[in-house]
């Protein structure tokens, strides 16, 4: 079974691998190395069952992930208590294009819509889906403050930001419960954010652990992809400030292989 770690001071414990679901609802405008077809409900159900049965309890979605939220609302029926659901606000995807709206009013609308789509009374985690202007979103628009208010209303249990700058990540960590940052073998600029979160009891979720499928080392062609994945996971989970790494896949074999790698590493 996948080990769990505390998610900062939220009171939640998350599996150190989380299941990303962009590929359940969107295959346009994505930056993966290969095209893919969206899985049907049977395939998606089997993937979710595999993750659940192996101890994964964190599932990550977003309005920007096409039909992901709506599909999860159906796919998770009868098992809501087995999952911690992380969704987002700020980015939308329609007609092949992303658009952004970070106003407090739109954040509230987005969360109410996510609750309906996911068929739940509360979202466990809500993150701002940044467009890169982290500081303006936090200081100028006040989206984190809006999420804090929605937390007080009981619409969500914890909130934070999926950031794109170090300054934004550090400020988000000060003002919220959780930060989602990028960390892989080729991108390590966000480590100061993780260090800060560890020191101040904030949760850390890792995105792009395998560089969205483009995992290479020093720009060279992959000679041993398995070894590079092992190195990436070992690097990430060696940091005690990391709560979980979100891995997006629709391939059950890839999911099982990553679960096996993590379990082998943690049991050494």
pLDDT per residue as tens digits for the range 168-208: 999 999 999 999 999 998 899 999 999 999 999 999 999 99
pLDDT at residue 65 is higher than 90: yes
Beta strands in 114-219 (DSSP E): 123-129, 156-162, 178-182, 203-207
Residue 1 half-sphere exposure toward CB, CA atoms < 13 A: 9
How high is the pLDDT of residue 27? 80
pLDDT, greater one: 216 or 155: 155
Contact by Cβ (8 Å): 72, 61: yes
pLDDT at residue 245 is higher than 70: yes
Tens digits of residue pLDDT in 70-89? 999 999 999 999 999 999 99
Label residue 214 by pLDDT band (50, 70, 90).
low
pTM of the predicted structure, to 2 decimals: 0.93
Query: Can you list the domains of the chain with their CATH numbers?
Result: 4-214+236-241 (3.20.20.100)
Cα distances (angstroms) measured from residue 34 to each of 213, 229, 245: 9, 18, 22
How high is the pLDDT of residue 92? 94
How high is the pLDDT of residue 230? 87
- Per-residue pLDDT, averaged over 121-135, amounts to 97
What is the overall mean pLDDT for the chain? 92
Label residue 218 by pLDDT band (50, 70, 90).
very low
Cα distances (angstroms) measured from residue 116 to each of 78, 86, 110, 211: 16, 14, 10, 32
- Per-residue pLDDT, averaged over 233-241, amounts to 95
Label residue 213 by pLDDT band (50, 70, 90).
low
């Amino acid at each position: 079974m996948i080990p769990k770690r505390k998610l900062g001071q939220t009171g939640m414990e998350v599996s150190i691998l989380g299941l990303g679901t962009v590929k359940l609802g969107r295959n346009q405008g994505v930056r993966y190395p290969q095209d893919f077809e969206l899985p049907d409900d049977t395939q998606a159900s089997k993937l979710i069952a595999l993750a659940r049965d192996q101890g994964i309890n964190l599932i990550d979605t977003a309005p920007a992930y096409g039909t992901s939220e709506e599909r999860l609302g159906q796919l998770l029926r009868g098992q809501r208590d087995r999952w911690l659901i992380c969704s987002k606000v700020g980015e939308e995807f329609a007609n092949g294009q992303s658009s952004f709206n970070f106003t407090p009013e739109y954040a509230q609308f987005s969360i109410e819509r996510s609750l309906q789509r996911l068929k739940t009374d509360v979202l466990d985690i809500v993150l701002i889906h940044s467009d890169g202007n982290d500081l303006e979103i936090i200081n100028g628009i006040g989206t984190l403050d809006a999420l804090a208010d929605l937390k007080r209303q009981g619409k969500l249990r914890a909130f934070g930001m999926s950031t794109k700058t170090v300054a934004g990540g550090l400020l988000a960590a000060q003002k919220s419960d959780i930060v989602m940052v990028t960390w892989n073998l080729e991108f390590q600029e966000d480590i100061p954010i993780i260090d800060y979160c560890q020191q101040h009891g904030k949760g850390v979720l890792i995105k792009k652990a395998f560089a969205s499928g483009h995992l290479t080392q020093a720009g060279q062609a992959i000679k041993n992809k398995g070894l590079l994945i092992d190195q990436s996971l070992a690097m990430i989970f060696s940091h005690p400030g990391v709560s979980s790494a979100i891995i997006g896949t629709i391939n059950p074999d890839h999911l099982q292989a990553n679960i096996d790698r993590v379990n082998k590493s943690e049991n050494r």
